[in-house]
Structure 1
Amino acid sequence: METKRVPVKIEPKLALGLLGRAEFGRVAFVFNGSPTIRPLNHVVDDGRIIVFTRHTSAFAQAVMGEAGLRVAYQADEIDPHSRLGWSVLVSGTAANASDDRRAEQLGKKVQSWIDRPLDTVIAIDPLEVSGLRLTIGS
């Protein structure tokens, strides 16, 4: 008999907690008129998603080019064998936080996979947080 997987909604506060445990996520935004998705390392700090990137990246350029840029940020943790786990989606606005007095501290918390100097801290303020956990159902 095949295992039945059932999606169960996750409360927003718990969803942000799960997002904080994820190694990386994906940000979706519009850049030069085209939908764009980029993988990013992040931390969750005081309810905001913080990423550290280069000022020349497409994401930083889009954020600097449009105040309050609307974005979606998604992360998940799904076991490839059992296909159980969770997925979190945040929609919100992104802003350059490099001038924030805590920006240097926040940027250092982000463990980037990129081996080059990063100089731009971007904060995503969630407007909506949703999540699903895939569990075994009956």
Structure 2
Amino acid sequence: MRPLDRSDALRLLGSISLGRLVFTQHALPAVRPVNHILDGEDIVIRLSDGAALASLTAPADGPETVVAYEADVIDPDHHLGWSVVVTGYARLVDDPAELERYKRLLRPWVTCSMAAALRIRPELVTGFQLTDTIQCTATALPD
């Protein structure tokens, strides 16, 4: 496993369009697959009508919501690829012109209308690349 620096991690994240948003729902962790694009370093995801994700968004004048975003490409046969995790602050896109632009850029995987977009501002970006066979040493868990 080779760690990725921030710029390499974001470059790889921008090379694909599907990831997983990790957020809190009813005080429990929740994960949803979503479509994304990178806009600079920000991750922008589409929200569908009635999406459970809409409940996690902060109002435009309120505090931002902390979320994590993970995406990867790992070959299941050769165990090669990469994984990136971004932790940051999420806020609804409230500018109508930006929202229209994101509606054109964010291509859905399912047929449903895009009700809103969520922008995640990365604070912590971590990632690793699997470059060859990984050997780990087992560590005993404490009793």
Root-mean-square deviation (CA, aligned residues, Å) is 1.7
Runs of 4+ in 1 over 3 A off after TM superposition: 64-67
Gaps of at least 5 residues in structure 1 are 1-6
Match of residue 109, structure 2, among 88, 113, 135: 113
Distance in 2, matches of 1:117 and 1:55, equals 6
1:42 aligns with 2:31: no
Q: 1:25/1:16 Cα in 2 relative to 1: closer, same or farther (>3 Å)?
A: same
Q: Which structure: larger Rg?
A: 2
1:105 partner letter: R
Deviation at 1:101, TM superposition (A): 3.0
**Alignment CA distance shift 1:101-1:81 (3 Å):** same
2:93 aligns with 97
Query: Aligned ranges for residues 1-138 of structure 1 at < 5 Å?
Result: 7-64=1-58, 67-99=63-95, 101-136=97-132
Aligned partner of 1:28: which letter? Answer: V
TM-score relative to the length of structure 2 = 0.85
Question: Across the two proteins, how many residue pairs are aligned to each other?
Answer: 132
Percent of paired sites with the same residue: 32
In structure 1, give the amino acid aligned to 2:17: E
1:27-65 C-alpha deviation (Å, 9 max, x unpaired):
100012121100001000111000111252111111146
Unaligned runs of 5+ in 2: 135-143
SS of the equivalent of 1:44 reads strand
**C-alpha distance in 2 between matches for 1:27 and 1:137:** 28
Asked if the contact 2:58–2:64 (Cα under 8 Å) also holds between the matched residues in 1, the reply is no
